[in-house]
Amino acid sequence: MRNFGLFTILCLQAVAPACTAQSSDTAVVAVLNQMEQAIQRGDFPAYTSLFDAETRAKASSGPEKIPARPTVRFQATKTLVRGDSAAVIAAMTDSAKPAMNNHVTFRLVRENGAWKIADQLWSDPAPDPVSIYAIVPPESGAFLRAGSPWQGVAPAVPNTKYFRPEQIRWKLQATFDESFLYLRIDAGNELPAVNSEVPGEFPNLKSPVQRGWPAMTIKVVTAQKSWDYMFTAEDQVGDQATFDEHGKANSHHHYVAYSLRLWKGNATVFSAAAGARDQLVSVQGRCLDLRIPLKTLNLDGARGIKLFIGDANSASQIEPYAVAGYGL
């Protein structure tokens, strides 16, 4: 999930109305109700107070006002609270602009005993409801609790019918437990660290990652039915800018970024980035480690399921890979 900045969305969107149902999520939804009221009134101090300290620190420049937008309304469609983390998916409407529709996912953290908005993702069309389980991932599963013993996980077999061994430098391992599907891609060479600097200037920038692995498929099989997903693990060149008092960028830091994106058909289920608090993407030496919460695969548990990984291309670099469960 990307944080688009506190001030970049001040003139664009607002947040969700109060939820009438009394539940464990009430305090989280109340934050969104306060934010909606602040934007309806154009109350800048009340608006900014709802964000966490890290977000407020990043928003060091920008206009210290917001326009009043009394006709904006949000409807919370899904909430999730786990410990000191929470998420809310909401739909936006504006009676003054009936053609304007948008959706937002907010991640919240508990800060000094109060819920604060940590980041946000705006989208259209509506996000997949199960994406909320990637925003607030489950507790560590058996594989993580055991220290992630990858040495005991059999790798996928290269498809030597179409490729010579030297053409497939990368390797794939995968396993799953009651919480996650774990994937490890060994790139065959040292991967640049997350956020390491990329030299050069836009538009002549090139990622230093030597990526050889393809987009891959996930087949989920239960006793009743089967369904499919695709995931991509990619590197990009990120850009972190600083701004002058007029809001104009005056410096840029280009860095290596890694991401995971899960697809169902042509729709994104969720995306995650290395360095984020959810730790769904991480880099260790030659290895890119990915975690996909089972609930984002529309699974309520790991018992009685089978998972298969494949190459999304017609000329597959790996043989169909049956993923073995861990501790099941």
**DSSP string computed for 199-254:** -S-TTS-----------EEEEEE-SS-EEEEEEEEEEEEEEEEEE-TTS-EEEEEE
Q: What is the DSSP letter of 303?
A: T
List, in sequence order, every residue forming a beta bridge with 260; answer none if it has no partner.
233, 272
**Residue 199 — very low, low, confident or very high, per pLDDT cuts 50/70/90?**
confident
pTM of the predicted structure, to 2 decimals: 0.86
Topology of domain 26-127, CATH: Nuclear Transport Factor 2; Chain: A, (3.10.450)
- Quick: pLDDT tens for 238-273: 877 666 666 676 667 788 999 999 999 999 999 999
- Quick: pLDDT tens for 103-158: 989 999 999 999 999 998 888 889 999 999 999 999 999 999 999 999 999 999 99
Closest CA to 104 of 32, 42, 44: 32
CB contact set of 35 (below 8 Å; sequence gap of 6+): 14, 15, 16, 47, 50, 117
Q: Which residues belong to CATH 3.10.450.50 in the chain?
A: 26-127
Q: How many separate helices (H) and strands (E) can be counted in the chain?
A: 5, 14
Helix (H) or strand (E) holding 16: none
User: In terms of pLDDT, which residue wins out, 24 or 19?
Assistant: 24
Report whether pLDDT(23) > 70: no
pLDDT on residue 247: 62
pLDDT on residue 207: 86
